[in-house]
Amino acid sequence: MGLSGKLRQTDIAADRMTDRFVKKELIPTYKESLKEIRNKMSAFYEKYAKDGRLSRADVTQYNRLNALEKDIEKELNRLGGRVKRKQRTALMRTYAETRNRAAFAVEAEAQVKLGYRVLPKEQVEAAVIGRVNWADSVDDATRAAVRQVKNSIAQGIAQGKAYTEVASEISERLGVAAGRAERIARTEGHRCREAGKMRALEHADEKGVKFEKIWTATLDDATRDTHGDMDGQAIPMYDEDGDPAEFESPEGHRTQYPGDFGVPEEDINCRCAVRAEIKDMEPKVRRAREEGKIPYTSYEDYAKSKGWETPYAS
C-alpha cells in the first residue's frame, strides 16, 4: 500500500470521528437548546397571549419581555459554552488519534520502532488552538444567535404572530447557527487531523527518518482553484535553515499543512491532505529487517499495546 496509502486510511478514520461528533454530539446539543427555548416561548404565550396573540403592551408590562429575553440569552450562552467544551474534547481526540495512527503507519512502512509515546495533554491542548482560535468563532456565532432570536421574538410580537410562527422562525435561526457550528467543527477537525499527522512525521524525522511531504487536493468542483493548483506540490520536512518547510498557495499564503494558513478563504472547509514519502533513513536508525520484520498487527492492537485506545475520552 505504501506510506501515502496508510496515511489516507488515517485521514478516513479521523473524518469519521468528526462525522460522529457532528451527528451524535454537536447537532443534538443545538436541538436540546431549541427545545428548551421553544418550551419557554410556549409557556410565555400560554400565560400572556389573548386569542393566541401577544400585545406589545402586555409583554412590556412588568418587564415581562425583557425577562424572557434574558432567560433565552442565558440558555443560548449555556449552549455556546457546551459547544466549546464538546468541540475542544473532539479536537483533542482527533489530533491524538491521527498522530497515533500516523505513527503506526510510519513504523509499519519504515519497519523501525521509533519510540512514540503517549502525548502530554498540555501539548495536545496547545495544538488544537490553531493560528485562529476557533473558540472565538463559536463565541461570535453565539452572539449572532442571541441577536437573531431576540429579533425574531420582538418582531413576531410586534406583528401579532402566533406562537407557531415565532417558534418556526426561532428554529430557522438556530438551524443557521447549528450549520455555522458544523462548519467550524469540520474545518477545525480537518486542521487537527493534519496537525496530528504532521506531529507523527516530525517525531520520525527527529529519529532519522527523512520525508518528502506532498500536498494532495480533492480534485472535484468543490475544491478551491488555488488548492487544485497546489496538488502534487512536494517539499521536505525542513528547509535549509532547519525551520519547518511550508507549502505556498498561488495567493502567496504559506502553511506547514492544509487547514492552517490562518486565512479563512484558504482554510474553511478545506479537504486537502498531506501525503508523505520516505526519502532516506540516517544510519542511527536501525531498520527492523536487520533482525527480522516487525510482525504484522492491527492498529487496534498497536494502540492497545501503547495505552492509546481512548485518548481524551470525556
- Whether the pLDDT of residue 290 is over 60: the answer is no
- Whether the pLDDT of residue 123 is over 50: the answer is yes
Give every strand in the sheet of 273-281, ordered side by side. 234-236, 209-216, 273-281
Q: Where are the domains of the chain?
A: 2-208
Quick one: which of 13, 3, 223 has its CA closest to 105? 3
Averaged pLDDT, 108-119:
92
pLDDT band at 2 (very low <50, low <70, confident <90, very high): confident
Copy the grid coordinates of residue 77: 450562552
Copy the grid coordinates of residue 119: 502525548
- Whether the pLDDT of residue 275 is over 80: the answer is yes
- Whether the pLDDT of residue 213 is over 50: the answer is yes
Quote the mean pLDDT of the chain: 91
- Whether the pLDDT of residue 20 is over 90: the answer is yes
- For the chain, give the percent of residues with pLDDT over 70: 94
- For the chain, give the percent of residues with pLDDT over 90: 77
- Whether the pLDDT of residue 130 is over 90: the answer is no
DSSP class of 50: B
- Whether the pLDDT of residue 295 is over 80: the answer is no
Write the CA distances from 103 to 107, 120, 236, 250, integer angstroms: 6, 15, 18, 31
pLDDT digits (tens, 9 = 90+) for 162-197: 999 999 999 999 999 999 999 999 999 999 999 999
Residues 6+ apart with CB under 8 A from 305: 297
Neighbours of 16 (CB within 10 A): 10
Averaged pLDDT, 110-122:
92
pLDDT digits (tens, 9 = 90+) for 70-112: 999 999 999 999 999 999 999 999 999 999 999 999 999 999 8
Q: What is the DSSP string of 127-163?
A: HTTTTTTHHHHHHHHHHHHHHHHHHHHHHHHHTT--H
The overall longest dimension of the chain from CA atoms, in Å, is 86
- Whether the pLDDT of residue 226 is over 60: the answer is yes
Write the CA distances from 245 to 198, 239, 258, 263, integer angstroms: 12, 5, 13, 18
Averaged pLDDT, 256-266:
95
**What is the structure's pLDDT at 69?**
94
Give dist(CA 29, CA 16) in Å, integer.
19
**What is the structure's pLDDT at 60?**
84
Averaged pLDDT, 132-137:
91
Quick one: which of 51, 61, 79, 69 has its CA closest to 152? 69
**What is the structure's pLDDT at 314?**
46
Copy the grid coordinates of residue 302: 498497536
Write the CA distances from 164 to 35, 156, 157, integer angstroms: 13, 10, 12
